[in-house]
């Protein structure tokens, strides 16, 4: 092996300092073809002996949004894999349909589909980590973006070098200029995304192309490094707060009904505002499974509930969540939907089927199984082995006693227990569509596929199922349609 370059040595130091990789782990490298991802791939390959990486696979996601450019990006990445003798997995998704179904921005839709596809590829390839090419400039942009959107102190920590889900960012320390210099030193070419040069394409572009250069010119020529250093300090603070909140949680939590999280107001009021805010965020995170869309003004609304002590009052939170004050209890639960009516629709064959009462549509297509096993990244779209399906199909609401075999579990499970483990509020369960064939449950829509219809290497034909709903909230927290 040739000696490491200075840049590769810095990447290795970052990996070791943040404990990003361990010997014999398998890594999925996300490669778009841009400079950051090409540098990431090159550095990971150069460091394989030092990190002990057992398997390295390239992942490319084709958003299908830029016509010929998208196809050329894919061909470039495939050629990279051939040049470096690294396997390539390519996934795609109908980002436009996902955006329409979820009512989110195109940037958010692309991100959600890409991350879902990454996670699926990581699991199907049996790998341990997903390596992303975010750099120091991306970190500075993220900190400013969160600040402009009204994030609290936790959000100012920006992106983490590693996440609990196995994502790592080996280049997060490196300014873009160092990455470009490394590529030049290695003689490596890369692709440029033309949309990255359009300020109005998204807010992140405006920050990159207009705001950060202005800050560098007027305030500080090394503003990127300053913002990244701030993010590191905030991350250290968050490590302390994480331990502190875990310790205090047992003190303030109350026993809640199924599907809700409850806190003692009296015990909350024993702590200062900073601690209360952290505990409120923790409660929302437990209830929803994430903090996406939760901003400082949401937390402050809950703080006012506590201060004014108006029992029976409530505030709306993102994801269809409500915070309600009931006596000495602060309860976090899904907003009360209209009473659900059981539904049961027969599906005799493939095609497109409208369900007006559900404000939704199901599209079923028979397709040959692609050689790569490519499946769309949206949780509202799955591929099923056509030979394992017994027609006719049914879309129905759940029934007491329902059981299925969740993909990846290795056994059967009561649907009610699955809902409880997934923290799905009782009030929402009757509204979740279930796709069944003549013998069994096939798919809990948006949640989990049944392993009995999962695509395998021996699959020759697939049924691709897409659920398109006007009332499905983003990031897995449902406002499922009323019956």
Please tell me the total count of domains within the chain: 3
Q: Residue positions in the annotated binding site for ATP?
A: 32-37
Q: Are strands 360-368 and 448-449 parallel, antiparallel or unpaired?
A: unpaired
Would you put residue 463 in left (φ > 0), alpha (ψ -120 to 50) or beta?
Answer: beta
Q: How large is the average pLDDT for residues 378-404?
A: 92
The reply to whether 311 falls in a domain is yes
- Could you tell me if 107 and 129 lie in one domain? yes
What is the full DSSP assignment across 77-114? HHHHHHHHT--EEEEE--HHHHHHHHT--HHHHHHHHH
CA distances for 236 relative to 219, 242, 244, angstroms: 26, 10, 13
Output the 3-class SS for 278-298: HHHHHHHHHHHCCCCCCCHHH
- Could you tell me if 64 and 212 lie in one domain? yes
Q: What is the mean pLDDT of the chain?
A: 88
- Could you tell me if 135 and 281 lie in one domain? no
The reply to whether 111 falls in a domain is yes
The reply to whether 236 falls in a domain is no
Beta strand residue intervals within 338-426, DSSP E: 344-347, 351-355, 360-368, 381-385, 393-396, 403-404, 413-414
- Could you tell me if 372 and 468 lie in one domain? yes
Enclosing H/E stretch for 7: helix 6-17
Among 73-77, 102-106, 196-200, 286-290, the range of highest mean pLDDT: 73-77
Q: Which of 103-117, 131-145, 153-167, 238-252 has the lowest mean pLDDT?
A: 103-117
Residue-wise pLDDT tens digits, 308-333: 887 778 999 988 899 999 888 899 98
Give this prediction's pTM.
0.64
Measure the CA–CA gap between 119 and 125, rounded to whole angstroms.
Answer: 10
Contacts of residue 221, Cβ cutoff 8 Å, sequence gap at least 6: none
Q: Residue positions in the annotated binding site?
A: 32-37
For residue 58, the domain's CATH number is 3.40.50.620
The reply to whether 156 falls in a domain is yes
* φ and ψ at residue 462, rounded to 5 degrees: -125, 155
Residue where one domain finishes, among candidates 277, 310, 334: 334
Measure the CA–CA gap between 461 and 417, rounded to whole angstroms.
Answer: 32
- Could you tell me if 157 and 15 lie in one domain? yes
- Could you tell me if 21 and 166 lie in one domain? yes
State which residues form the domain around 262: 255-334
For residue 264, the domain's CATH number is 3.30.465.60
Whether the Cβ atoms of residue 430 and residue 397 lie closer than 8 Å to each other: yes
pLDDT > 60? residue 170: yes
The reply to whether 348 falls in a domain is yes
Q: Is the peptide bond before 383 cis (omega within 30 degrees of 0)?
A: no
């Amino acid at each position: 092996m040739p000696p490491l370059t200075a840049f590769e040595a810095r990447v290795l130091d970052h990996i070791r300092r943040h404990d990003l990789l361990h010997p014999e782990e398998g890594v999925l490298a996300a490669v778009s073809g841009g400079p950051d991802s090409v540098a990431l791939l090159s550095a990971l390959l150069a460091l394989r002996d030092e990190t002990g990486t057992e398997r390295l696979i390239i992942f490319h996601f084709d958003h299908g949004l830029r016509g010929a450019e998208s196809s050329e990006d894919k061909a470039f990445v495939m050629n990279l894999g051939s040049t470096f003798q690294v396997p390539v997995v390519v996934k795609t998704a109908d980002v436009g349909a996902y955006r329409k179904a979820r009512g989110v921005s195109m940037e958010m839709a692309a991100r959600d589909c890409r991350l879902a596809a990454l996670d699926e590829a990581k699991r199907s390839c049996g790998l341990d980590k997903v390596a992303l090419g975010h750099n120091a400039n991306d970190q500075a942009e993220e900190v400013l973006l969160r600040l402009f959107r009204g994030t609290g102190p936790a959000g100012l920590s920006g992106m983490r070098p590693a996440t609990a889900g196995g994502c790592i960012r080996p280049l997060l320390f490196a300014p873009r200029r160092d990455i470009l210099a490394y590529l030049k030193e290695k003689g490596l070419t890369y692709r440029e995304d033309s949309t990255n040069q359009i300020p109005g394409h998204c807010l992140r572009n405006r920050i990159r192309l207009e705001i950060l250069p202005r800050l560098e010119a007027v305030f500080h020529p090394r503003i990127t490094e300053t913002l990244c250093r701030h993010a590191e300090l905030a991350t250290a603070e968050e490590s302390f707060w994480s331990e502190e909140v875990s310790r205090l949680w047992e003190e303030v939590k109350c026993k809640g009904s199924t599907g809700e999280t409850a806190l003692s107001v009296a015990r909350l009021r024993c702590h200062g505002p900073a601690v209360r805010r952290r505990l409120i965020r923790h409660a929302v995170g437990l209830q929803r499974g994430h903090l996406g869309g939760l901003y400082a003004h949401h937390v402050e609304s809950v703080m006012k509930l506590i201060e004014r002590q108006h029992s029976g009052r409530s505030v709306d939170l993102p994801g269809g969540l409500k915070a309600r004050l009931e006596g000495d209890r602060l309860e976090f639960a899904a907003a009360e939907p209209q009473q659900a009516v059981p539904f049961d629709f027969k599906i005799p064959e493939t095609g497109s089927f409208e369900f007006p009462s559900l404000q939704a549509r199901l599209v079923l297509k028979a397709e040959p199984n692609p050689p790569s096993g490519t499946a769309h990244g949206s949780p509202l779209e799955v591929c099923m082995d056509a030979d394992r399906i017994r027609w006719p199909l049914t879309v129905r609401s759940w029934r007491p006693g329902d059981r299925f075999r969740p993909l990846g579990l290795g056994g059967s499970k009561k649907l009610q227990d699955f809902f409880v483990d997934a923290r799905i509020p009782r009030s929402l369960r009757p509204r979740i569509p279930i796709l069944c064939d003549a013998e069994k449950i096939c798919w809990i829509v948006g949640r989990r596929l049944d392993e009995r219809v999962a695509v395998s290497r021996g699959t020759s034909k697939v049924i691709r199922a897409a659920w398109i709903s006007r009332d499905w909230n983003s990031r897995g927290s449902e406002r499922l349609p009323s019956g």
